[in-house]
Amino acid sequence: MDNEMQQFCDDLLESVRQMNANERASETIVKETRKVSTMMEFDDDVLDAFRKTGSDWQNQINHVLKQWLQTHSMEHSVS
């Protein structure tokens, strides 16, 4: 795994930790009106961290990815 991808994974896990620390009940997660089903592969540790956030762990992945996109450019995406 290259450094950029490792940083991405680290950022995702840190976001999960922050959300848990802030008690998700205090955050409003807006349900999207349209979602697209897809198949993705994750490292075991990343998937385990999200599953530990609760029954809506898939929505949490979506939420964290949206936050990440707001602060990172996709110009140098990992291929």
Of residues 56 and 15, more confidently modeled: 56
11-43: pLDDT as tens digits = 888 877 777 666 555 545 555 567 888 899 999
CA–CA gap between residue 65 and residue 72 (Å, rounded):
10
Q: What is the pLDDT of residue 51?
A: 93
Q: What is the pLDDT of residue 74?
A: 77
Q: What pTM was computed for the model?
A: 0.53
Q: What is the pLDDT of residue 36?
A: 85
Q: What is the pLDDT of residue 6?
A: 79
CA–CA gap between residue 42 and residue 9 (Å, rounded):
10
Is residue 9 helix, strand or coil? helix
Q: What is the pLDDT of residue 22?
A: 64
Domain coordinates of the chain in residue numbers? 42-73
Of residues 57, 48, 3, the one with CA closest to residue 65: 57
